[in-house]
Chain A
Amino acid sequence: GEDVEQSLFLSVREGDSSVINCTYTDSSSTYLYWYKQEPGAGLQLLTYIFSNMDMKQDQRLTVLLNKKDKHLSLRIADTQTGDSAIYFCAEQDSGGYQKVTFGTGTKLQVIP
């Protein structure tokens, strides 16, 4: 079955760049997502990338996809204290009800 893996924790200083990594197993994934979850809240969609793209940039966010290695990363430039949250990588099936499988999340701590 599908599996999505992420490192559990990342700590960066305010103003530095953060890079959160993710690996997935389903080669038929069509879309890959990054969601942000703040304490006690639901998931906020940050960005997504279609599987035929290598890179997508959206303001401070850059998503890189290496489809051969099934590796996805999220780079946050100029990280702010408000970026402290848990970041979930997710991959979406191409068929059926287009099931989304989430990773366990990476907790980003931004140190002032």
Chain B
Amino acid sequence: DTGVSQNPRHKITKRGQNVTFRCDPISEHNRLYWYRQTLGQGPEFLTYFQNEAQLEKSRLLSDRFSAERPKGSFSTLEIQRTEQGDSAMYLCASSLGLAGNQQTQYFGPGTRLLVL
């Protein structure tokens, strides 16, 4: 399977704990995106990487959230001191990233986080 993969698929944690999610994009894709989706809503943009550089961050990404893509391949999203409001589906997407070309984003299956 050469699609976008995410781990874990589900995470239950207690308020105040730290969690980390991983995303493996499609191998030749340079761009990687993180989104958050709450119940009854569409995905909301969190942050974007071009290779290893984090080029854009949403106002939704508070200072408790940090994302990395150290070698320009997989990415991690860490949430520190989780709050109940962080409960959501966290989606990762990737795209080719070639200038001037259509940039369809392909999504992974998501990590569903529940903060108790």
Chain B residues with CB under 8 Å of chain A are 4, 6, 31, 33, 40-45, 48, 50, 55-56, 91, 93, 102-110, 112
Do A41 and B104 touch (CB < 8 A)? no
B51 to chain A, nearest CB (A): 13
Whether A99 contacts B45 by the Cβ 8 Å rule is: yes
Q: A97-B55, A98-B103 are in contact. Are A42 and B109 (CB under 8 A)?
A: yes
Report yes or no: A97 in contact with B112, Cβ–Cβ below 8 A: no
Which applies to chain A's interface (DSSP): helix, strand, loop or mixed? strand
Q: How far, in whole Å, are A105 and B42 apart by their CA atoms in the complex?
A: 6
- Count how many chain A residues have C-beta atoms less than 8 Å from C-beta atoms of the other chain: 26
Contacts of A99 in B (CB 8 A): 45, 56
Nearest residue in A to B110 (C-beta to C-beta)? A42
**Is the beta-carbon distance between B42 and A88 smaller than 8 angstroms?**
yes
Of residues A90, A98, A103, which shows the largest number of chain B Cβ atoms within 10 Å of its Cβ? A98
B55 CB to closest chain A CB (Å) equals 6
Q: Is the CB of A100 within 8 A of B45?
A: yes
Cβ contacts under 8 Å, B41 to chain A: 104-105
Question: Within the complex, which residue of A33, A97, A103 is in contact with B50, where a contact is CB–CB below 8 Å?
Answer: A97
Distance from A37 Cβ to chain B, minimum over Cβ atoms (Å) = 9
Q: Which one of B42, B43, B109 has the greatest number of beta carbons of chain A within 10 Å?
A: B42
**A41 touching B42 by the CB < 8 A rule?**
no
Contact indicator A104/B42 (Cβ below 8 Å): yes
Name 6 interchain pairs, CB-CB below 8 A, sorted by A. A30-B102, A31-B103, A43-B43, A90-B42, A97-B50, A105-B40
Q: Are B42 and A103 in contact (CB-based, < 8 A)?
A: yes
**Whole-angstrom distance between the alpha carbons of A102 and B112 in the complex?**
19
Kindly list chain B residues whose C-beta atoms are within 8 Å of the C-beta of A98. 103
